Amino acid sequence: MPADRDMERIVSLCKRRGFVFPSSEIYGGLASCWDYGPMGAELKRNVKNAWWKAMVQERADVVGLDTSIMMHPEVWVASGHVQGFTDPLVECRACHLRWRADEIKSQRCPSCGGELTEPRMFNLMFKTSMGPVEEEGSTIYLRPETAQGIFVNFENVVTTSRKKIPLGIAQIGKSFRNEITTGNFLFRTREFEQFELEYFVKPGTDGEWLDYWVKERFDWYVKLGMRKENLRLREHDKDELAHYARACYDIDYLFPMGWSELEGIANRGDFDLVQHARQSGRDLSYYDAEAGEKYVPYVIEPSGGVDRSVLAFLIDAYDEEEVEGEKRTVVHLHPSLAPIKVAVLPLSRNERLTPLAREVHKQLSPGFMTDYDDSQSIGRRYRRQDEIGTPFCVTIDFESLEDKQVTIRDRDSLAQIRVPIEELPKTLEAKLKGEAFDASSLWAAREK
Ligand code: GAP
């Protein structure tokens, strides 16, 4: 890992290159809320697409869902969130800052040293009211996890999808938690996105499926270029398990502030379906026609944070190196995650080069997210593309006018090859798709 990798450099890169901006910045920002800029929006979408492809598209046993953020308030009674989704909160009697009691080491305020109140349990769900009149009974919550939208639709999905158990239901969407303390950039915020799979299995097979999903999820990050040595698995102790979990593993990432959770894979047993059956009065058991058996399935849940993954992918890909005596900042994102796949760069803005360069851009943009940039020196434009992680730059020079060939520059090796314009889409496709981008060999070569 490069020694100079720290969060401030990532935050600064994100601002400088349009990945992430503070929310409502012209009003001074809003604590722990962030907006994704043009590059960040692409990166985040690519992370979600990669997840959806691996978890839904490429599997016959998983279907997708997109449920509402606001749900019937009884959902959160059944799920245990109204009663138990709390953190212990203490407040400083002097400066009134609030802290999570389980996260501070001493009995005094970490900011001013003042005396703290006794801890009280603080519910993390955001409350609002539905309809024009704020009255009792109109209180609803913003969902703190997407999972419950899946559980309450279990019956709908089983009856309409013609799938049998084991069956997974996947969802990506926003969740909200009124966290007492936030921070570390995108790591802990009050509004965030999750990707969650609820994988319904026959009781008794849950142990095997938990192991299976832990491995699948760990490998997903590695396949997308994250270095193995920056990932680890951690099993939860019995006393730290969530109220619904029988067992849980965290995939931790080595963030600049230390090892922290990237994703959790939990065995939720039959907790949720049993609770919802009880609260709603609906029978949520499953009938296995082949075996002639009826049972309430157990659930294995890989649950990750989109924003946390975006942050981890960026940190992992970030590098500073020296090239011919000059510092180069480069983000070695996996090509499938890179916001821009190819940049078209005419050597200069010029009435002879511009039409050809525009033509090349038009040829490439239906197939790839393509940038076009003809301002400033070519060196500065390469630097910008390196910083946003663009795998390939296509340069059009005066020779191109004669021989109808252009140069492809490779972000990682800096190798340049010349190819005929008509072969450009095919060549880039082959390079982007496969000639497998192997992050571990890239980093191994770099660290030598
Ligand atoms: N349905 C289970 C569940 O929500 P969780 O461990 O509370 O489990 C799952 O959350 C993932 O959601 C975490 O691993 C993390 O990546 C992400 N996440 C949770 N709270 C977050 C927050 N305040 N900010 C950003 N991401 C968060």
* DSSP per residue, 208-248: HHHHHHHHHHHHHHHHTT--GGGEEEEEPPGGGS-TT-SEE
- pLDDT for 438 equals 60
Choosing from 171, 192, 214, 248 the residue with most ligand 1 atoms within 8 A of its CB, the one to mutate for a pocket test is: 192
- Say whether both 206 and 147 belong to one domain: yes
Q: Whose CA is nearest to atom 14 of ligand 1?
A: 263
pLDDT given at position 137: 74
Q: Which of 94, 123, 152 is the last residue of a domain?
A: 123
Nearest one of 380, 251, 231, 390 to 315, comparing CA atoms: 231
What's residue 439's pLDDT? 60
**Which one of 260, 279, 314 terminates a domain?**
314
Predicted confidence at residue 89, as pLDDT, reads: 95
Tell me what percent of the residues of the chain surpass a pLDDT of 90: 88
Q: Is residue 159 domain-shared with residue 219, that is, in the same domain? A: yes
350 and 225 share one domain: no
Residue 218 in domain: yes
Confidence of residue 135 (pLDDT cuts 50, 70, 90): confident
pLDDT 10s digits, 302-336:
999 999 999 999 999 999 999 888 899 999 999 99
- Whether residues 108 and 171 fall in one domain: no
Which of 308, 309, 310, 313 has most ligand 1 atoms within 8 Å of CB, for mutation? Answer: 308
Give residue-wise pLDDT tens across range 401-417: 999 999 999 999 999 99
For residues 115-139, give the mean pLDDT: 89
Domain presence at residue 324:
no
Are residue 213 and residue 109 in the same domain, yes or no? Answer: no
Cβ of 267 less than 6 Å from ligand 1: no
Q: Are 269 and 298 in contact (CB under 8 A)?
A: yes
Instruction: Tell me: pLDDT of 448 over 60.
Output: no
Residue 370 has pLDDT above 70, yes or no: yes
Q: Could you tell me if residue 330 is inside a domain?
A: no
To test the pocket of ligand 1, the residue of 187, 261, 267, 299 to mutate (highest count of ligand atoms within 8 Å of its CB) is 261
How open is the CA angle 168-172-177, to the nearest 5 degrees?
Answer: 115
Is 320 a domain residue?
no
Mean pLDDT, the chain, integer: 94
Claim to verify: residue 298 and residue 200 sit in the same structural domain: yes
72 pLDDT exceeds 50?
A: yes
The whole-number average pLDDT for the span 55-66 is 98
Chain segment 240-258, per-residue pLDDT in tens: 999 899 999 999 999 999 9
pLDDT band for position 5 (cuts 50, 70, 90):
low
Closest Cα to atom 2 of ligand 1 = 303
Q: Whose CA is nearest to atom 11 of ligand 1?
A: 304
144 lines ligand 1 (CB under 6 A): no
In angstroms, rounded to a whole number, what is the distance separating the alpha carbons of residues 244 and 266? 9
Same-domain status, 66 and 173: yes
Q: Is 263 close to ligand 1, i.e. is its CB under 6 Å away?
A: yes
CATH number at residue 437: 3.40.50.800
Per the structure, the count of domains in the chain is 3
- CATH number of the domain bearing residue 276: 3.30.930.10
Nearest in space to 375 (alpha carbons), one of 385, 365, 389, 360 = 385
Looking at the structure, do residues 144 and 271 belong to the same domain, yes or no?
A: yes
Measured N-to-C along each axis, helices 306-317 and 7-16 cross at an angle, to the nearest 10 degrees, of 100
pLDDT band at 4 (very low <50, low <70, confident <90, very high): very low
Residue 329 lies in a domain: no
Same domain, 390 and 243: no
Judgement on whether residues 411 and 380 belong to the same structural domain of the protein: yes
Place of tokens 């994703």: 263
Say if residue 349 is in the same domain as residue 443: yes
Same domain? 50 vs 115: no
User: Which atom of ligand 1 is the closest one to the Cα of 186?
Assistant: 25
Question: pTM score > 0.85 for this model?
Answer: yes
Which atom number of ligand 1 is nearest to the Cα of residue 187?
25
323 belongs to a structural domain: no
Is any ligand 1 atom within 6 A of the Cβ of residue 155? no
- What is the CA(3)–ligand 1 centre distance, in A? 28
CA dist., res. 10 & res. 8, Å (int):
5
Does residue 425 form part of some domain?
yes
Q: What is the pLDDT of residues 183-207, one digit of tens each?
A: 899 999 999 999 999 999 999 999 9
Q: Please give the structure tokens belonging to residue 184.
A: 């570390």
**For range 7-34, the mean pLDDT:** 96
| Per-residue confidence (pLDDT) for residue 134, from 0 to 100 | 73
- Quick check: is 319 in a domain? no
Task: Using the mean position of ligand 1's atoms as its centre, give its distance from the Cα of residue 110 in Å.
Answer: 25
Domain ranges, residue 114: 86-123
